[in-house]
Amino acid sequence: MQYGMIIDLERCVGCHACTIACKAEWEVPVEFYRNWVFRMGPSLVGNEMTSTYYPGLCNHCTEPVCVPECPADPVDMTFTNFKTGETTTMEVAATWKDPFDGTVQIDKDRCIGCGACVDACPYNARYINPALVDDASEDGKADKCTYCKPRVEAGFDPACVQTCITNARIFGDLDDPNSEVAKYVTKGARGIEPKGGQLGPNSRYYGKKKDMTLLFNSHTPELADLAQVRRRAMLASMVKPAMKKIKNLGLLGIVGALMAKELLEQEDRNKAEPLS
């Protein structure tokens, strides 16, 4: 099984009902989003003028680049197929690809808030949620679209799909040839692959040729520099625990904390510059 979502650009009217439903369902902070709708155009594509929308979300990729970048200590986790009851155990970090439904999920309890998965995702589909603060991370935890896994396992559609007023979002099992999503793929629905990688995005788009051209020309991202992602994640995983300890050491602790903070901020600045 591989859950996926089709977004029919011919039906989307850009009403943002999906984004509002998502925020309400998952209490997403105002300044962040699990899914989004961007307006594109009017633009000239070939000899035709066109405009459309880019409704985006986590792609729950077949080969998710975010998963192997998580530096959290791996543990054995048992997964259950909610339809058949079958179980399997595998070693995972704080983010993984579910072996039964193909969704990519996050363990908020074990996430250390380093931002490695956020930086690795070329689609900007992840963010650090500042509301998710605990002893493991004072800055929050990684968050993103889950394809509304709890809702789906309870027999409901994802909140964005249920709320879409034009049925532009279609959810289902891409591996089932009789499903509506699989039929859309047969008709030509496709995901946005990043430049420099083949991730197999399972959130896919269908529409007129000119609209699809506008979408893919405007929003095909670059694959992240994974060497830089790993360097920052390693630094964050070392610095953040150290900062907690040295804050209790008086003046020395304050100085140490400021130095550690400067290291992380320097890494943020370096993200915008090529590695030497």
Cis peptide before 130 (omega within 30 of 0): no
Quote the CA–CA distance of 168 and 11 in Å, as a whole number.
5
This prediction has a pTM of 0.86
For 125-146, how does the pLDDT look when each residue is reduced to its tens digit (9 = 90+)? Answer: 999 999 998 877 788 999 999 9
* Amino acid at the residue 233: A
Task: Please name each of the domains of the chain with its CATH number.
Answer: 3-219 (3.30.70.20), 226-270 (no CATH)
Which residues have a Cβ under 8 Å from the Cβ of 48 and sit 6 or more positions away? 210
Closest C-alpha among 10, 2, 19, 46 to residue 164? 19
Cβ-contact 73, 233 below 8 angstroms: no
Q: Which of 77-81, 253-257, 260-264 has the lowest mean pLDDT?
A: 253-257
C-beta neighbour count of 107 within 10 angstroms: 17
pLDDT beyond 90 at 52: yes
pLDDT beyond 60 at 245: no
∠ CA 21-25-27, nearest 5°, is: 110
Cβ-contact 72, 113 below 8 angstroms: no
* Amino acid at the residue 216: F
What's residue 196's pLDDT? 86
What's residue 183's pLDDT? 98
For 197-234, how does the pLDDT look when each residue is reduced to its tens digit (9 = 90+)? Answer: 899 999 999 999 999 999 999 999 999 888 888 887 77
